[in-house]
Amino acid sequence: MTSLLLEPLPSGEWNVRLARHLLRRAGFGYPIYRAEELARQGPEAAVAAFVDYENLPFDFPEPDWLDEPQTYRQMRADLRQEFRRRLEAGELSEAEQQALQRERQRLFNELMRERRQDIERLKVWWVRRMLRTPRPLEEKLALFWHGHFATSAQKVRSPWLNYHLNDIFRRHAAGNFKTLTSEVGRSPAMLIYLDGVQNTRRSPNENWARELMELFTMGIGHYTEADIKEAARAFTGWSFDGERFVFHRFAHDDGEKIFMGRRGRWTGLDVIGIIFEQPATAEFISRKLWTHFAYDEPEPEIVEGLAATLRESDYDLKPLLRRMFLSRAFYGERAIGNQIKSPVQLAVGMAAQLGIEPDDTIGRLLAFQLRTMGQDLFYPPNVKGWDGGRAWINTNTLLHRYNLANLLVNGILADPPPGAPRLLRQAMEEDPEFRFMVNRSRLTPGDDGSGPLMRATPRRPLAAMEGDPSAGAIQFARAPFQPDKFFRPAQGYTLPQIADFLADFFYPQPLRADQRDEIVEALAGDRQSVERLDLGRWDQDRLRSAVRLMLSAAEYQLC
C-alpha cells in the first residue's frame, strides 16, 4: 500500500503558491509570472512543462571554439619536434641550447595557460546557457549529475573532455540512469579522473570501481571489498583515444570473477548490469534525487516508492521525476521554502529574476562569483561533489551572496580579489562591449552606515590596479539591473503594495510587518508611503535599494 506522501496532489489543492514552489525547485525560479499560468494549467500540465522539456526548442551554440583534445598533445609534440630539429641542425653553444630550452618552456607554459583559460570560458558558456534556457530542469539535472559523477578540471585538464562529459550529463539528464552511468564510465574525463586508464590486468587500479559503487550507485554497505577488487578486474582495458572510448583487449583481465555473488567472465558493462539489478541502486539514487529537489532525510516510504517507480521503468528517470514533482510530500510544509539555494541557484535565479540580459559580461561575472560562493563549475572539491545545504553557508560565503546582489543591482564589485583586475581586463580585451570605469576610492559606509559611499577620485585605469594590494572597488559604468522594466507591473502601487509585490516575487514566505516597513522606508525617501509609484518620476536609486535589500535578506537564500 503506498503511503499518502507520494500520492499525487489533488488538483483542487493546486494554486499559485505551489506553482511558485515548483518553479523554484524544478527551475531557477523565473520568470515568476509563469506561476499564474502554471496555476491555471493544473499540476499535471505544470509538471509536464518542466519534465517534458524536449518539447521546447532551444538553439544554443555549442562551444565549438574549444580545441579538440588531440590538439594540445599535437601542439606539444610539434613543439618538441621543432626544437629537436633545431638542436640537431646547427652547432649550438650551450648558452644557445639553454635559450632554446627556455623558449620551449615558455611556449609550453603559454599553451597550458590557454588551456586553463578555456575552462574559464567553458564556465561562462554554461552559465549563459543556464540563463537563457527555456528548459531549466535540463540544466538543473545536468548540474546535479556533474556533482554526482564528480570530476574536476584540476585533474582532467583538457577543456574539450570536460565539455564532452558535460554534454553527456545534458543529453541523459532526464533519460535513463543506467545508460547515463555507462556513458559516464566510458567517458575520457571519468577514465582520467578515477584512473580507469591506469587500470590494467598487470596493475589493477580500484579507484573507479570503488567510487562507482560507493558514491555513484549503491552506497556503502551493499558490497564488499572483494567485490571492488573483482569489479576493478572487470573494468581493465577501458581507455580512450581523443574523445572516443577505446577497449584495450590485451590490457583486459578476462578471467572469471565473482561479483556480488555472481560468477562469470565479467566485463565492465556486465558489472554495471549486475549493479543495476541490486535494489540498493534504485534506493540510493532515489534518495539522492529527493534530497536534492525536495528535502533532506526523506521518509522511508518515499525512498521505497520512488525506487519502485525507477525499477519499473528500467531506470528511465522521467517517471520518477514526474511522480516526485506531483506528490503531496513535495508540496508539504517540510519542502516549501526550506532549502538553502546553491550558489548556482542563487546567482542564476537572481540574474534571471532581475531580468538581466544574459550577455557575456554577466556570464563572466557570475562564473567568477560562483567560485567565491563555493560552487566552482568544473571544479567540485572532490569526488563526492558538493555537500550542499548549510555547507554552502559561512560568514564568508553569506557576505559574498549579499554583495552579489550589490553587483547585479548596482554594478558594484567590492573587495575584488587580486586576480579580478587581470581577469576583467582580459575579458575587456576579448569582448569590446565589456566596458567599465574604475573608481579607486575606498568603498566604506558613512559613520552612521548611511549614504553614498564612494568618494569621487580621479579615474584609474584597470591595468594600474593589477598587483596593487590596496586597489579599491570596481564600479561598472552601467549597472546590470534596470528598474524600469522590472517595476512596470507595479506602476500605480502604493509603497506597502510594492513591498508585498517584491516579496511574492522573491521570497517563499510573506514579509514581516517590520520588514515591510524597512522596504517602504527604502523606497520612500522624502515621499509618503501612501504615494503611488509613478515610474517616470521615481528616484531610480530608491527602487534599486529596495531590491538590493530584499535580495540581502536571509529569506532570499531559500527556495
Partner 1 sequence: MNEPSLKTRREFLANCGVVTAAATLPQFLVRTAHGVAVANGWEPGSETPLPGFKDDRVLVVVQLSGGNDGLNTIIPHADDDYHRVRPQLAIKADQRLRLDDEVSLHAALKPLKSLYDDGRVALIQGVGYPNPNRSHFRSMEIWHTASDADQYLNAGWIGRYFDNNCAGEPQATAGVAIGDEFPQAFGGERGMGVAFQTPERFGYVPGRKGDDLASFRAINRADAPAPNDQVDFLRHVTRNADLTSERLRQTNQRTRNAVRYPFDPFGQGLATVARMIAGGLGARIYYVSLGGFDTHSNQAGQHERLLGVYASGLEAFHRDLTALGQSRRVLVMTFSEFGRRVRQNASGGTDHGTAAPMILTGHAVAGGLKGRRPSLADLDQGDLKHTVDFRSVYASVLRQWFDADPTVVLGRPFPDLPLLSA
Residues between 154 and 213 that touch partner 1 (CB under 8 A) = 154-155
CB nearer partner 1, residue 59 or residue 447: 447
Grid cell 596593487 — which residue? 468
CB nearer partner 1, residue 320 or residue 551: 551
C-alpha 263/C-alpha 256 separation (Å) is 7
473 is an interface residue for partner 1 by CB under 8 A: yes
C-alpha 479/C-alpha 410 separation (Å) is 5
Give the H or E element holding residue 146: helix 136-148
Pick the piece of the chain touching partner 1 (CB under 8 A) from 76-84, 104-112, 253-261, 350-358: 104-112
232 is an interface residue for partner 1 by CB under 8 A: no
Binding residue for partner 1, selected from 48, 79, 111, 443, defined by CB under 8 A: 443
Pick the piece of the chain touching partner 1 (CB under 8 A) from 15-23, 238-246, 302-310, 538-546: 538-546
Pick the piece of the chain touching partner 1 (CB under 8 A) from 25-33, 163-171, 277-285, 519-527: 519-527
Pick the piece of the chain touching partner 1 (CB under 8 A) from 66-74, 97-105, 175-183, 285-293: 97-105
Rounded least distance, CB 277 to partner 1, Å: 29
Pairing of strands 244-247, 474-475: unpaired
84 is an interface residue for partner 1 by CB under 8 A: no
CB nearer partner 1, residue 92 or residue 443: 443
C-alpha 120/C-alpha 431 separation (Å) is 14
475 is an interface residue for partner 1 by CB under 8 A: no
Binding residue for partner 1, selected from 61, 221, 451, 536, defined by CB under 8 A: 451
- In sequence order, which ranges of 354-394 are alpha helices (DSSP H)? 360-372
Binding residue for partner 1, selected from 45, 56, 258, 554, defined by CB under 8 A: 554
- Going by C-beta distance under 8 Å and a sequence separation of 6 or more, which residues neighbour residue 310? 177, 282, 285, 286, 316, 317, 319, 320
CB count in 10 Å sphere of residue 395: 7
The contact mask relative to partner 1 for 357-376 (x = CB under 8 A, - = no) is: ---------------x----
Rounded least distance, CB 556 to partner 1, Å: 9
Pairing of strands 262-264, 257-259: antiparallel
Pick the piece of the chain touching partner 1 (CB under 8 A) from 58-66, 99-107, 258-266, 314-322: 99-107
Distances in Å between the alpha carbon of 351 and those of 235, 271, 313, 390? 44, 44, 37, 22
Binding residue for partner 1, selected from 32, 246, 393, 535, defined by CB under 8 A: 393
Binding residue for partner 1, selected from 55, 93, 203, 470, defined by CB under 8 A: 470
20 is an interface residue for partner 1 by CB under 8 A: no
Rounded least distance, CB 6 to partner 1, Å: 23
C-alpha 69/C-alpha 159 separation (Å) is 8
Pick the piece of the chain touching partner 1 (CB under 8 A) from 2-10, 68-76, 275-283, 388-396: 388-396
Span 404-433, contacts to partner 1 by CB under 8 A: 406, 409-410, 412, 414-415, 417-418
How big is the site for partner 1, counted in residues (CB under 8 A)? 73
CB nearer partner 1, residue 59 or residue 88: 88
The two counts, helices (H) then strands (E), for the chain are: 24, 6
Span 256-275, contacts to partner 1 by CB under 8 A: none
C-alpha 375/C-alpha 362 separation (Å) is 17
279 is an interface residue for partner 1 by CB under 8 A: no
Pick the piece of the chain touching partner 1 (CB under 8 A) from 28-36, 133-141, 193-201, 551-559: 551-559
Rounded least distance, CB 375 to partner 1, Å: 13
Rg (CA), the chain: 27
Binding residue for partner 1, selected from 59, 91, 448, 534, defined by CB under 8 A: 448
512 is an interface residue for partner 1 by CB under 8 A: yes
Q: Report the interhelical angle of 360-372 vs 343-353 (nearest 10°).
A: 150
Rounded least distance, CB 312 to partner 1, Å: 34
539 is an interface residue for partner 1 by CB under 8 A: yes
Q: Nearest-CA neighbor of 337 among 37, 546, 557?
A: 557
Distances in Å between the alpha carbon of 112 and those of 154, 158, 216, 280, 425? 12, 10, 31, 43, 20
Span 328-347, contacts to partner 1 by CB under 8 A: 337-340
C-alpha 192/C-alpha 122 separation (Å) is 19
CB nearer partner 1, residue 390 or residue 537: 390
Q: Which three cell numbers stand for residue 298?
A: 526523506
Buried b (16+ CB within 10 A) or exposed e, 151-163: bbbeebbbbbbbb
CB nearer partner 1, residue 50 or residue 538: 538
Distances in Å between the alpha carbon of 228 and those of 212, 254, 268, 454? 9, 16, 12, 60
Rounded least distance, CB 469 to partner 1, Å: 5
Q: Nearest-CA neighbor of 137 among 60, 59, 46?
A: 46
Binding residue for partner 1, selected from 162, 199, 345, 545, defined by CB under 8 A: 545
DSSP-derived letter for residue 380 is -
Binding residue for partner 1, selected from 105, 224, 457, 491, defined by CB under 8 A: 105
- In sequence order, which ranges of 436-494 are alpha helices (DSSP H)? 462-465, 483-487
398 is an interface residue for partner 1 by CB under 8 A: yes
